[in-house]
A and B are shown apart, each in its own frame.
Chain A
Amino acid sequence: MSISDWFPIYLTLKVSLTATSLTVVIGLGIAWVLAKKRFWGKNLLDALLMQPLVIPPTVLGYYLLVTFGRGAWLGRFLEENLGLTLIFTWRGAVLAALATSLPLFIKPARAAMEGVDPHLENAARLLGRSELGVFRAITLPLAWRGVLAGVMMAFARSMGDFGATLMVAGNIPGRTQTVSIAIYDAMQAGDVGVANTLVVIMTVFSISVLLLVGWITAGRY
C-alpha cells in the first residue's frame, strides 16, 4: 500500500474522534434530559433521535443534505456567518458520523442514568448541590459504565459509516474518502490487496471495541 492508501485511515480516525467528542457533549445532555425529566413530547423526541438506527443511511444523508446544503437556510447561515462549509468536506463526514452515532451513545447512557437511584440525587441536592453538581458528583460517576459503553459504540459506528457519509461528504480521494468508502472504491477498481488490508484493520478494530464494551459493562458497584 502506498502512502495515499493510508489517508482514509487517518481521515477516518480524525472524523470519528471529532464526531465522538461532539456526540458525547451533545448526547450527555440529551440522555440526561430523557432519563431524568418528564415533559410533553418526550416520546416523540426519543423516536426522532432514534431514527438514524432504523432509516436507510442514504435517507439520513439526504435529510442532512437538504438541511445543511448551500441551498438550505441552515447551511447558508453556517457558511455566511461562521464560514463553515459542511457539504463535500471532511466536516460533512463528521456531520454524517455524528448523526448515525448519536442514538447509539444516547441509548446506553440514558439507561445507565435512569438506573441511578433518584434518592441518591435527592440526597445530594439536600446536601447543597446544584443540578450540575448533582450530575457531576453523583449521576455521571454512577452511570459511567453505560456512558463509556455509549462512547465506544458511537466511536465504532462513526468509524464505519458508509451511506450517509457518501451522500454528505462525497468520495473525494485525499479529501473526504473514509475507510469504508475506500474499501468500496478498491473493490470497484479490482485492488483486492488494499481492500483486504483495510477490511482486516476495520474488523479487528470493531471486534476489539465490542469486547472492550462487554468488559467495561460487566462490572458492578
Chain B
Amino acid sequence: MLEFDLSKSYGGYSLHVAEQVADEWLVLLAPSGAGKSLLLNLISGLTRADGGFVRLDGETLYDHGLGINLPIRRRRIGYLFQDYALFPHLTVEQNIAFGLPPGQPRDAAVRHWMGFFQLAGREKSYPGELSGGQQQRVALARTLASQPRLLLLDEPFSALDRRIREMLYREVGQLKKQLSLPVILVTHDFVEAQLLGDRVSVLQDGRVLESGPKDLIFAHPQRHETARFLGIGNVLPATVSVGGGADSAADPMGEGGIGKDETVTVRLGGLSFLVRSERRFANGEAVFLCIYSADVRLLLDNTRRPNAVVATVLRIHPQEGTNRLTMGLHDAGGGTAVELETLVDDYVLSRHGIGTGQTITLWLPEDKLFLTT
C-alpha cells in the first residue's frame, strides 16, 4: 500500500496531490505539463517535495514534518522512464542484472525476465542495437528484476508506434495479472487508462480533478474537463431548464438527490433534451451535456422519439473502417450553431449514400446522455 500527500511549487506553478494506492494500477491521466512526471519524481525522491509525506507498506520514505527523507537507493521503487534510461555501455543482460538485490542468483533472474519479455537471444546486444519495443521490454525487465515494492511508469508507451504499442499492452496486461504491488502509470492517452487502469485519477494544473474506479470515471465523469480528457466526443455547454424531482427548488444544489434516478431537461441551442441523472440540478444551472460519439445513433427511418434531432452532415473524417461525422444540429431558427460528433461505419455510410450537406435525424438516447459541471 502506497500513501502519499505531496506538494511542490516553483515559479508560479504548484502541485498538490494526495492518493492511496493499494495493490492495484492507478492511472494518472493528464495533459502534458500537468505535473505527471514531477509527481513521480517526488514519490521516488528524485525531486525533493516542499511538504507532505510518502509511506510505502507502512514505512515512511519521506516526511517533511518529521525530517525523514530516505535515500533514493533504499526506497526500492521501480521507475520506468519515458526514454527507458537503458545504460548504453552495458549489454541487455548486464542492464537487467544491474539492479538485482544482493544474494539473488544472477543468471536465473536474468533468464527469467529475458524469457518473460521474449528477449532470449539478445543477451549480448547493446541497447543501441535494439528496436524501440525491445528497449522498452529490457527497461521493464530491469525494473522488475530489482524486485521493487512500487512501480512507477512514466508514459512508457508514448515513444512507440501503434503496432508495437498494442503488442506491449497485451504483454503488460499479462504482467498485471502476475504482479501484486502498487503501480502508478502516468499517461495522456485515455486508451491506456481504459486498458490498464484499475483506478483513474485525472490531473490538471497540479491538482487531481477527479478520481475513482476506472469504469465509473469513464461512464460518468463529474466534470467537463475530465469528460473531454477521457475522449468523450461530445461535451456541450447547456442550461438546465427542469432540474428534476419535485423538491428541486428546495434543494437547488441537488446534494440530497445523489443516488436517485432523475430526469433532467436541458436546453442546448434552442433544443431540449431529456437526461437520466443520478443528481438533481437547479433550474437555470450551467452544465455540460455529454455523450460518447459512438452512442449518438442515426435514425434512418425517421421515427419520432424523445431526444431525436435533425442535423446536417458538415464534415466526414474517415478512420479505420468507421467515420467520424461532424453534424450541425438544426435549431429553432434553422441554423446549425451546435455541432455534434457521431461514428458511422463505412458500410452504413455507403449503403445509405450519406455525404456532406445531407440532412439526417440523430437520436441521443436518454440513458446514454449525462451531465457534468
Contacts and interface: CB of A to CB of B under 8 A. Distances in A.
Q: Give chain A's interface secondary structure class.
A: helix
B89 A125 contact: no
A128 B85 contact: no
A123 B72 contact: no
Most buried by A among B72, B75, B83: B72
Contacts of B88: 120, 142, 221
B142 interface: yes
A126 B79 contact: yes
A137 B73 CA distance: 14
A130 B85 contact: no
Interface in A124-141: 124-130, 133, 137-138, 141
Interface residues of B, number: 22
A141 B95 CA distance: 14
B101 interface: yes
B98 interface: yes
A130 B73 contact: yes
Contact of A127 (B46, B83, B128, B142): B142
A124 B44 CA distance: 13
Contact of A128 (B46, B89, B101): B101
B233 interface: no
Nearest to A121: B85
Contacts of B117: none
Contacts of A79: none
Given A119-B81, A119-B83, A221-B128, A126 B44 contact: yes
A192 B363 CA distance: 105
Contacts of A221: 88-89, 128
Interface string B64-104: 00000000111111110101010111000000001101000
Interface of B: 44, 46, 72-79, 81, 83, 85, 87-89, 98-99, 101, 128, 142, 146
Given A120-B88, A127-B99, 18 more contacts: A119-B81, A119-B85, A120-B85, A122-B46, A122-B81, A123-B87, A124-B87, A126-B44, A126-B46, A126-B77, A126-B79, A127-B146, A128-B73, A128-B99, A129-B73, A137-B87, A142-B88, A221-B89
Shortest 3 CB-CB contacts between residues of A and residues of B: A127-B99, A123-B85, A119-B85
27 contacts: A119-B85, A120-B85, A120-B88, A122-B46, A122-B72, A122-B81, A125-B46, A125-B73, A126-B46, A126-B72, A126-B73, A126-B77, A126-B78, A126-B99, A127-B99, A128-B73, A128-B76, A128-B101, A128-B146, A129-B73, A130-B73, A137-B87, A137-B98, A142-B88, A142-B89, A221-B88, A221-B128
Interface of A: 117, 119-120, 122-130, 133, 137-138, 141-142, 221
